[in-house]
Structure 1
Amino acid sequence: MAVGIVTPKDLYARLAQGEEVFILDVRVIDDFENWHVDGPTVTSINIPYVEFLSEDDTAWKKLLPADRPILVNCARGRSAKIVADVLDRHGYDAAYLEHGMLGWSEVYAPVTVFEEEGWKLIQLNRVGKGCLSYVILSDASALVVDAGRHVDEYLEVASAHGAKVQHVVDTHLHADHISGGVELASCTGATYYISSGELQGSPLPHTPLEQHRTWTFGSVTVQVLAIPTPGHTPGSVSLLLNGRFLLSGDTVFVGGLGRPDLGGKAREWAQQLYDTVFTTIAALPDDVLVLPAHYASQDEYHARGFVGADLGTIRSVNDAMRLSSREAFVTQFASDGGTTPPNHTEISAVNRGEKTIDPARALELESGPNRCAAKHAPR
């Protein structure tokens, strides 16, 4: 029986169709617990690679099903291939995930959030990272928000709709992944917008977003309001489309709020986050659909397949948004940010244009899940 190879995109397609998949992850236990392929139809177990190098196979054989296909996974695919070969020699139906978790981290899945005559809103879900970005299409124009570094993904979406990317926005300076905003704007001739406070002293070409609080584009008027929503970073903004869709960056998530501690000014930024939540966001109606830049759980998926929820639902389940005491809110958020995103200092330097790296280093820096939320609602 030959060992099969499953590409990350093939795996996503199978999971999206509801196929049940049994995954054997052979990384060390800490790496597995920190980050692994997940989903409602995934059964995933962890048996470290070294266990399969021993002549004694009784232990791992007790844990593996003999009657269903097994997909072996690791960090880059090399160890998984070796283990899949071992399983094949023992009569198992085995395949391995090409490029492992690093390959999985580069899968983008476009999902249409909303469409009506004249314009369309698409969410691109980077499923292995929990990173979300957006393409808004109207007539022959496209606006891209919070693009990842794989700019071809956005060019393909725009091309498929006969559109040209003319506006590129980063809602804030990202610290968990490499932004593709500057590169995408450069290769398309688009304007790159970000708050000027996010790029102080940076050599990167950009247009200050605060100078363009409102603009329209396309055959139908899609009014885009850039709303200052500081807290996660001082220059964080959210975009309100047609008064109905809030692209909230890392300010408001389906299950939490953006953490204010990554800049070393946790208490100061938590004060700003409080004002954002209880003044700016408080003014928006419950039926506004919140579409964030990240998510941390399958629970944050909408029934229609994208990640998002109406603001009223988020208010009802998110304890932090009901914590009206300023002092209690600030104390809680300034003291409990959780695990710091790995490599966030170097990633921020890259996104600020202070450091240049090659694609191999970018892949290493982005390894692991995002950790942008400070608090998540109880589920």
Structure 2
Amino acid sequence: MNDKQVHGMNAAKLAKKVLKQTPIFILDVRNESDFNDWKIEGENVHIINVPYFELLDGVDEILDQIPDDQEVLVVCAKEGSSKFVAEQLVESGKQNISYLIDGMKSWSEYIEPVKIANLKDGGTLYQFIRLGKGCLSYMVISNGEAAVIDAVRTTAVFEDFAKENHAVIKHTLDTHLHADHISGGRQLAEKTGGSYWLPPKDATEVVFHYEKLEESSHLVVGQTEINIQPIYSPGHTIGSTSLIIDNQYLLSGDILFVKSIGRPDLAGKAEDWVADLRTTLYERYKQLSEDLIVLPAHFGTIAELGDRGQVAARLGDLFKENPGLNIHDESEFRRTVSENLPPQPNAYQEIRQTNMGKISPTTEEQREMEIGPNRCAVHDDKTK
């Protein structure tokens, strides 16, 4: 075997290929159930699943499925199995074979920053795309100060980015108490000496200090006053709060997505929160400018990414095109968002407890809790 021919590919390089729509063939050797639950997706990603245990005696039976004319990436959960299979493929004569370094674990955590726009008076707005998990975070930078919204737990990416842009993180904000991923907002604020903001109606059980993110709050980033205006918008949670930045951008949290709407059931109160969700989407958001650019906290599929990798849409266009905003019968809306919901996020109760500060899992435990896709949206036949 010529080990030199077996290369590892890191998540950053894979992300670049996915975002640039570079053709790549993926052999995923995880168990079928794990593959069906969550996989690498992309416009020019061709992927097959052959569980590792079927390849223990060799790869001869799948050689005819492995192309010779494009790059092949072998993927597993943590790396070991995929590296073994990649070596077997090379030994069998296949070329241009690599394996995903640290497996789907690394894909789940990789974050790609994308510039959204220059703001008034010299500020800049960035979106941080967690491709493998569907999470979206944001950073506003103005006059040497920064605010981070809906930060994920791997906070180094925000610290490093702020430092590279000569900014100090003054505020971190969560639009709501997250249930599908562990927030990095409080940790980031503690590291940088900033203030951590959370909607008080979502914070009744938290065990740490926070600043109340509510409509009376007035947050300014930088001397040029890039205003962040909170808008109470319950429905996904009772405290869900949207943010309007620079009178141009609507950070909708998990209330409104590009192709779908937020689910109201992750605190076990779907029946109670359906009315709030409808009021927010069909009344409160209707009062806002249709020219606001919606920037959600999650995306559902890779198809929601734009040409530069950004996830964004004009509010007026969403009122025309988003199925979740066009269910005009109230009883039908109630059925849509309270029945036939997708599975709840893995370990979502433990994630909520972590975000409340009630439990403190290790880094590896947190990683395992988050494994899997984003499941914050209503996705049925009416909202796909």
Q: Residue 88 of structure 1 aligns to which amino acid in structure 2?
A: V
The Cα offsets for residues 145-200 of structure 1, whole Å up to 9 and x where unpaired, read as 00001111111111111110001100001111110011001011111000112121
Cα distance in 1 for partners of 2:215, 2:275 equals 24
Q: Residue 44 of structure 2 aligns to which amino acid in structure 1?
A: T
Q: Residue 159 of structure 1 aligns to which amino acid in structure 2?
A: K
Q: Residue 95 of structure 1 aligns to which amino acid in structure 2?
A: S
3-state DSSP of counterpart to 2:357: coil
Question: 2:114 aligns to what?
Answer: 111
3-state DSSP of counterpart to 1:173: coil
3-state DSSP of counterpart to 1:62: helix
1:378: how far off?
Answer: 5.7
Question: 1:59 aligns to what?
Answer: 61
Say whether residues 1:139 and 2:143 are aligned partners. yes
Which residue, 204, 228, 233 being the options, matches 1:200? 204
Within-5 A mapping of 1:165-180:
165-180=169-184
Cα distance in 2 for partners of 1:314, 1:68 equals 38
Within-5 A mapping of 1:333-372:
333-372=337-376
Worse overlay, 291-300 or 64-73: 64-73
Cα 1:330/1:184, change in 2 over 3 Å: same
3-state DSSP of counterpart to 2:309: coil
Which residue, 301, 305, 330 being the options, matches 1:301? 305
Question: 1:5 aligns to what?
Answer: 8
- Do the aligned residues in 1 keep the contact of 2:233 with 2:255 (CA within 8 Å)? yes
Cα distance in 2 for partners of 1:228, 1:273 equals 11
Cα distance in 1 for partners of 2:260, 2:365 equals 30
3-state DSSP of counterpart to 1:72: strand
Identity between Structure 1 and Structure 2 (%): 36
- Do the aligned residues in 2 keep the contact of 1:119 with 1:138 (CA within 8 Å)? yes
1:58: how far off?
Answer: 4.5
- Do the aligned residues in 2 keep the contact of 1:320 with 1:375 (CA within 8 Å)? no
Worse overlay, 305-314 or 211-220: 211-220
3-state DSSP of counterpart to 2:73: strand
Q: Residue 264 of structure 1 aligns to which amino acid in structure 2?
A: G
Cα distance in 1 for partners of 2:27, 2:111 equals 23
Cα distance in 2 for partners of 1:15, 1:322 equals 31
3-state DSSP of counterpart to 1:136: strand
Unaligned runs of 5+ in 2: none
The Cα offsets for residues 179-227 of structure 1, whole Å up to 9 and x where unpaired, read as 0011001011111000112121321220111274333231322221110
Within-5 A mapping of 1:1-379:
1=2, 2=4, 3-54=6-57, 57-93=59-95, 94-116=97-119, 117-210=121-214, 212-375=216-379
CA RMSD between the two structures:
1.6
1:23: how far off?
Answer: 1.0
Worse overlay, 141-150 or 212-221: 212-221
> Which TM-score applies when normalising by structure 2?
0.94
Cα distance in 1 for partners of 2:93, 2:379 equals 46
Q: Residue 18 of structure 2 aligns to which amino acid in structure 1?
A: L
Cα distance in 1 for partners of 2:86, 2:297 equals 36
- Do the aligned residues in 1 keep the contact of 2:215 with 2:229 (CA within 8 Å)? no
Unaligned runs of 5+ in 1: none
Cα distance in 2 for partners of 1:141, 1:238 equals 21
Q: Residue 235 of structure 1 aligns to which amino acid in structure 2?
A: G
> Which TM-score applies when normalising by structure 1?
0.96
Cα 1:378/1:261, change in 2 over 3 Å: closer
Cα distance in 1 for partners of 2:143, 2:341 equals 42
3-state DSSP of counterpart to 2:22: coil
The Cα offsets for residues 108-155 of structure 1, whole Å up to 9 and x where unpaired, read as 100000114410000000111010000001101101000001111111
Cα distance in 2 for partners of 1:18, 1:279 equals 38
3-state DSSP of counterpart to 1:51: helix
Cα 1:17/1:375, change in 2 over 3 Å: closer
3-state DSSP of counterpart to 1:216: strand
- Do the aligned residues in 1 keep the contact of 2:19 with 2:308 (CA within 8 Å)? no
Cα 1:14/1:326, change in 2 over 3 Å: closer
Q: Residue 26 of structure 1 aligns to which amino acid in structure 2?
A: V
The Cα offsets for residues 50-80 of structure 1, whole Å up to 9 and x where unpaired, read as 221125x543122112343321100111110
Q: Residue 295 of structure 2 aligns to which amino acid in structure 1?
A: L
3-state DSSP of counterpart to 2:300: coil
